[in-house]
C-alpha cells in the first residue's frame, strides 16, 4: 500500500493537540485501560511487541490500548479520517500475541475494524503502519458499534461538518445523533438543517436502500456524489411517516454521500439502515386495466398518456368505481414518472383505494375541482418496497378527483422491469352501480323526504308495497338491513 498525506487530518490533529486524551503506549502489557472514546497514538520511537498477520506488520512498530467493554456485542475501532498514516489495526486477547482480528485498508488508507466482545473482558487493540517503518500519529475511536460515535475530543457532533470528513457508513444499521449539529449543506427540501454526513462505498452493484425509518425525530435526507451536495435527491416525509427511505442504483466501489438532517432544523437520535431494497409481496389481481404507457425513463417529463398537471396540454387516465389499474413508475435523479387517474364522484361518498407497489411510493387522492392551479391533496398513503400494501379511505364531496401514483423521490431507485410496478382498486361506499341519488326516491313520489326512509325501512323488513326500487340494498353491501335505512336517510338529506 502506498503512503499518502492528508492535510485535513494533519490540521485536525493540530487543532486537537491541546485536548487531554488517553495515549496508546508502545508496550502491550502496560497499555492504558480504556472504555468507549477517542484516544491519541504515535508511532514515533515505538518498537514491535507482537506480530500482526496482515498489512505487512509482522515486525512493524506498534502501540496498544487495553479496551474493556461494558457491553456484550460488537465493538468498533476506527482511524478513518483522523490520521495521515496508512494504518493497520488488530485485536488480541492477550499480549502473548493471540490475535482475534486484523485488517488493513478500509476507508482509503485508514482502517475501521469491528470485533465481537464480552462485557468486562479486556481486548488489546494494536495500531501499526503498513509495512512498518512509519513515525505517524493520529486519533483512534473505540466504541459499541450499535450506538452512536462518541463525541470528538474537541466537542461537537460526529460527522457534523464536511470539512472534517464524513462518517463511514456500512451495510446494516448504525445509530446516530444530530443533537448539537450545525448546518453546512444547501437543503432543497424540508427546510433541512442541523445535518451530519456519511460516506458509503458500495460493495456490490444494484439498488441500495438508505433509510432513517424508526428514528426518534422528523428527519430529512439527501444523497449526493460529494459531501453535502444532495445532487442525487432530497426527501422529506415518507414512506414511514416523518422519516424516509431513498434508493440508488450503484456500481461496485461507487461512493454515495448521505446527509441526514431534521425538518426545519429539528434534531434528535436515530438510526441509518443501508442494504438492498426489501422485496415484499406483490400480487396484482387478474383482470386489471393495464396502463397504456411504456415504462421508459428516457422520455423524461414528456408523458403523453397520463401526465396530468405535469404536462402541457394536461392529459389524464380515466378511472371508474370498482376498476383495478396496473401501471408502472420510474425515477431518475432529474425526473420521475407520475400517473394521474381522473374520476368523477356523483355525490358525497367515501372513496377507498387499496393496492400494492414494488417501490417506495406516494399514493395521493387529489381534489381537482379548482383545476391544476388550485389542486388539493385530500388523501395519502406511502407504501414501500417492504410494506407493499396500502389503503386509504376519504369522504369526499361530489366533484372531480385524481388518484395519483408516483415514486417517493428523485433518487433513481425505481427501475423499469425491476421494481417499477403498482396496482390499485378504487371503490365507493355507495357501490359502483351508478349515481346513488338515482335510487334516493325509494317510493317514487317525486320528492325526497321521510317517506322514502319509511319505505326503505318497510322494505328491509319484507314489505315492498311502498318501495319502487329494484333492491332495498341501497348501499350495495350485499345485505338488506338497518344500514340501508341509514343510507336512505343520508340520500334524502344530500341528494
**Averaged pLDDT for residues 358-386:** 93
Does the pLDDT at position 7 exceed 90? no
- Please give the radius of gyration of the chain, using alpha carbons only, rounded to the nearest integer: 31
Higher pLDDT pick, 309 / 334? 309
Q: pTM value?
A: 0.55
Q: How confident is the model at residue 374 (pLDDT cuts 50, 70, 90)?
A: very high
482-494 and 450-460 are packed helices; what angle lies between their axes, rounded to 10 degrees? 160
Q: Right CATH number for 162-275 from 3.40.630.10, 3.80.10.10, 2.60.120.380, 3.30.1300.30?
A: 2.60.120.380
Half-sphere exposure of 284 (CA within 13 A, CB side): 17
Among 8, 28, 19, 32, residue whose Cα is nearest residue 128:
28
- pLDDT at residue 152, as a whole number: 77
Q: Cα separation of 169 and 103, whole Å? A: 17
Adjacency order of strands within the sheet including 243-250: 172-177, 269-275, 206-211, 243-250, 239-240
Measured at the alpha carbon of residue 178, what is the angle toward residues 361 and 127, in degrees to the nearest 5? 110
Q: What is the pLDDT of residues 402-441, one digit of tens each?
A: 999 999 877 777 889 888 999 999 999 988 866 667 788 9
Highest mean pLDDT among 8-12, 20-24, 126-130, 277-281: 126-130
Question: Could you check whether 162-275 and 289-428 share the same CATH topology?
Answer: yes
Does the pLDDT at position 379 exceed 90? yes
Among 248, 247, 222, residue whose Cα is nearest residue 234:
222
Q: Cα separation of 471 and 456, whole Å? A: 10
Q: Cα separation of 331 and 271, whole Å? A: 25
The separation between CA 39 and the C-alpha centre of its own chain, rounded to angstroms, equals: 34
Q: Do residues 176 and 265 make contact, with C-beta atoms less than 8 angstroms apart?
A: no
**Averaged pLDDT for residues 253-268:** 92
DSSP one-letter code for 373: G
Does the pLDDT at position 20 exceed 70? no
Q: Cα separation of 474 and 485, whole Å? A: 8
- pLDDT at residue 293, as a whole number: 93
Alpha-carbon distances of 402 from 267, 294, 317, 396, rounded to whole Å = 36, 21, 9, 12
Cβ count within 10 A of residue 2? 6
Q: What is the pLDDT of residues 133-179, one digit of tens each?
A: 888 888 899 999 988 888 877 667 888 888 877 888 888 888 888 88
Task: List the chain domain ranges.
Answer: 7-144, 162-275, 289-428, 436-494
Fold of 289-428: Jelly Rolls (2.60.120)
Query: Looking at domain 7-144, does it have CATH number 2.60.120.380?
Result: yes
Cβ count within 10 A of residue 29? 12
Alpha-carbon distances of 427 from 128, 339, 386, 434, 486, rounded to whole Å = 67, 19, 25, 12, 20
With cell 386495466, the residue in question is 289
With cell 472514546, the residue in question is 37
Does the pLDDT at position 3 exceed 70? no
Q: How confident is the model at residue 17 (pLDDT cuts 50, 70, 90)?
A: very low
Cβ count within 10 A of residue 429? 17
Does the pLDDT at position 5 exceed 50? no
Q: Cα separation of 365 and 377, whole Å? A: 6
Cell of 118: 464480552
Q: What is the pLDDT of residues 283-305, one digit of tens each?
A: 999 999 999 999 998 887 888 99
Kind of pairing between the strands at 87-92 and 22-23:
unpaired
Phi-psi region of 43 (alpha: psi -120 to 50; beta: other; left: phi over 0): alpha
Among 354, 310, 316, 336, residue whose Cα is nearest residue 416:
336
Q: Cα separation of 316 and 366, whole Å? A: 13
Given CA atoms 224, 82, 168, 187 in this order, what sign does their dihedral have?
Answer: negative
Amino acid at each position: 500500500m502506498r503512503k499518502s498525506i492528508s492535510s485535513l487530518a494533519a490540521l485536525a490533529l493540530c487543532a486537537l493537540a491541546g485536548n487531554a486524551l488517553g495515549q496508546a503506549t508502545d508496550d502491550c502489557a502496560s497499555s492504558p485501560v480504556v472504555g468507549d472514546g477517542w484516544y491519541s497514538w504515535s508511532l514515533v520511537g515505538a518498537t514491535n511487541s507482537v506480530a500482526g498477520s496482515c498489512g505487512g506488520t509482522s515486525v512493524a512498530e506498534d502501540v496498544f490500548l487495553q479496551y474493556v467493554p461494558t457491553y456484550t456485542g460488537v465493538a468498533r475501532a476506527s482511524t478513518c479520517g483522523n490520521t495521515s498514516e496508512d494504518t493497520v489495526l488488530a485485536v488480541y486477547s492477550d499480549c502473548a500475541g493471540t490475535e482475534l482480528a486484523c485488517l488493513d485498508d478500509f476507508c482509503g488508507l485508514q482502517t475501521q475494524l469491528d470485533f465481537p466482545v464480552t462485557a468486562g473482558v479486556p481486548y488489546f487493540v494494536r495500531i501499526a503502519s503498513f509495512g512498518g517503518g512509519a513515525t505517524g500519529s493520529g486519533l483512534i475511536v473505540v466504541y459499541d458499534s450499535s450506538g452512536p460515535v462518541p463525541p470528538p475530543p474537541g466537542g461537537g457532533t460526529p460527522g457534523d461538518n464536511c470539512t472534517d470528513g464524513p462518517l463511514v457508513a456500512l451495510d446494516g444499521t448504525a445509530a446516530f445523533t444530530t443533537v448539537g449539529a450545525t448546518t453546512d449543506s444547501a437543503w432543497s427540501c424540508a427546510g433541512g438543517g442541523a445535518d451530519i454526513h456519511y460516506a458509503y462505498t458500495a460493495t456490490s452493484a444494484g439498488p441500495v436502500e438508505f433509510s432513517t425509518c424508526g428514528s426518534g425525530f422528523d428527519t430529512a435526507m439527501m444523497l449526493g456524489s460529494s459531501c453535502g451536495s444532495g445532487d442525487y435527491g432530497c426527501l422529506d416525509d415518507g414512506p414511514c411517516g416523518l422519516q424516509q427511505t431513498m434508493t440508488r442504483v450503484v456500481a461496485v466501489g461507487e461512493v454515495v454521500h448521505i446527509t441526514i438532517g431534521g425538518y426545519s432544523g429539528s434534531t434528535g437520535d436515530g438510526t441509518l439502515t443501508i442494504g438492498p431494497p426489501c422485496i415484499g409481496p406483490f400480487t396484482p389481481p387478474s383482470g386489471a386495466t393495464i396502463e397504456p404507457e411504456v415504462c421508459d425513463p428516457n422520455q423524461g417529463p414528456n408523458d403523453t398518456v397520463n401526465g396530468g398537471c405535469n404536462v402541457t396540454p394536461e392529459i389524464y387516465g380515466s378511472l371508474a368505481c370498482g376498476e383495478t389499474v396496473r401501471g408502472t413508475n420510474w425515477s431518475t435523479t432529474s425526473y420521475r414518472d407520475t400517473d394521474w387517474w381522473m374520476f368523477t364522484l356523483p355525490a358525497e361518498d367515501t372513496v377507498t383505494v387499496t393496492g400494492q407497489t414494488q417501490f417506495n411510493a406516494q399514493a395521493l387522492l387529489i381534489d381537482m375541482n379548482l383545476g391544476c392551479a388550485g389542486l388539493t391533496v385530500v388523501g395519502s398513503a406511502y407504501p414501500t418496497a417492504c410494506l407493499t400494501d396500502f389503503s386509504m379511505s376519504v369522504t369526499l364531496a361530489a366533484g372531480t378527483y385524481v388518484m395519483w401514483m408516483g415514486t417517493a423521490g428523485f433518487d433513481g431507485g425505481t427501475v423499469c422491469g425491476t421494481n417499477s410496478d403498482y396496482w390499485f382498486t378504487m371503490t365507493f361506499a355507495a357501490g359502483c352501480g351508478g349515481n346513488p341519488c338515482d335510487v334516493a326516491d325509494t317510493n317514487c313520489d317525486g320528492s325526497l323526504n321521510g317517506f322514502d326512509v319509511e319505505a326503505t325501512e318497510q322494505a328491509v323488513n319484507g314489505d315492498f308495497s311502498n318501495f319502487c326500487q329494484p333492491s332495498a340494498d341501497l348501499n350495495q353491501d350485499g345485505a338488506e338491513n338497518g344500514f340501508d335505512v341509514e343510507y336512505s336517510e343520508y340520500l334524502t338529506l344530500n341528494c
